[in-house]
Amino acid sequence: MELTKSLRQYPLESIIHDTVRDEPTDYSNNESDFQSNKRFRALKRIPLPRLMNLKIDYAFKQLFGIEKNKQITIVFLNAFLQETGRDPIKDITFNNIEAGGEHVDDKQSRLDLLVVTTTGEKINVEIQFTDRYNMIRRSIYYWSGIYRSQLLSGMGYEELSDVISINLLNFNIFDQTERFHTMYHLFEDEEQFKLTNAMEFHYIEMPKLLKAWKEDKLDPWKDVLARWQLLLGMVDHRNKKFYEDIYHELEEIAMEDKTLQKPFHNWEELSMTPEQYLAYESRLKHILDEEAAKREAELRAQEAEKDGMERGMKRGMKRGIEQGMERGEEKAKKSIAQRLLSDGTEIQYVMNITGLSKEEVLEIQKDIAE
């Protein structure tokens, strides 16, 4: 596959460096982990196309969904929560939870990322690389499963914690707005006061994000959330697009924002681990194969529809000609009958000549008499 070949054009042995192979230290100890911006600059940088695409669920989970990267995940999630005025997260625990199948025969599927905060809030982050349709209903379905799963025997409804759904989409779903980050709660229709904080949805549409970046409508220096969203958007192996300008901008910001240094470090380390990269490539190939199969099915359906329409048109034209001939022949018979009857020819003779029924001949004779 051409894509796989392009991903492997940078030999692993040529880019592995001691400074990124070391096991990361405790993230909370910024002084020992990154003693200076100078050390961050000295980190061995790998070519941008060699970095994993963080919009692939496997890569996202490896960076944000494991215990050693907990502080990265906390900073990432707090960037979302500050948009809706929620209290910052101080700590999280990772939960593994199964989402019920969407149909009776579906297998259970593990949610991409589910964490519980110290205040009990549950935050589910879902990465959707391919548009599978019904994304809104899908996210509501996942939200409802998490919300219901909290209620144990003997608990009261007031003990249910808020559930926040963050959906990172590699496609657009809202035609009503050009904003790439939209947030949703339950509000009263007329006076627009909020019903509850229990339900909160975030949708990030990556194509709109990159469009805003190209149009110079984003300022990651002032917008913390924009930094993390651009981090997710800068590598696109499927379309062979790699945004060096975003990389350099975030690299400069990381000189001052040490919370952004750690993701860069771990992202590069993850991408340079042979076993991890092999698993990533396997997952990417699986996704692209699914997309190709879906596209092939769509093209076959279109071809079948086109072929059916062409056959239908041919049948329609043939039938139309036949009907036209039939109508023309009928008209000619009636015209002959009219002339014969006008000359006083007997009805039976007219019937024999034209093949018209007695009722039809009598009707013509009646019209002549009138």
Listed by start position, the domains of the chain span 2-272, 299-369
Q: Which residue has the higher pLDDT, 297 or 2?
A: 297
pLDDT of residue 106: 43
**Of the candidates 37, 65, 51, the residue with the CA atom closest to the CA atom of residue 257:** 37
- Over residues 52-96, the pLDDT tens digits come to 999 998 999 999 988 989 999 999 999 998 888 888 898 999 887
pLDDT at 104 over 50: no
pLDDT at 34 over 50: no
- Other CB atoms within a 10 A radius of the CB of residue 284 amount to 21
Calculate the dihedral angle through the C-alpha atoms of 180, 183, 188, 194, rounding to the nearest 10 degrees: -150
Q: Mean pLDDT lowest for which of 164-168, 277-281, 292-296, 314-318?
A: 314-318
Place of tokens 């229990």: 198
Q: pTM value? A: 0.67
Q: Cα separation of 136 and 120, whole Å?
A: 25
Contact 239, 227 (CB under 8 A): no
What percent of the chain lies above the pLDDT cut of 90? 33
pLDDT of residue 211: 94
Q: Report residue 330 as tokens.
A: 């009928």
Pairing of β 92-95 and β 122-128: unpaired
- Over residues 222-248, the pLDDT tens digits come to 999 999 999 999 998 888 889 999 999
Q: Report residue 313 as tokens.
A: 């048109």
Q: Cα separation of 156 and 154, whole Å?
A: 7
Place of tokens 């989409």: 169
pLDDT at 43 over 70: no
Is residue 25 very low, low, confident or very high in pLDDT (cuts 50, 70, 90)?
very low
pLDDT of residue 3: 45
Q: List helix spans (H) across 255-273.
A: 258-271
Q: Cα separation of 7 and 49, whole Å?
A: 7
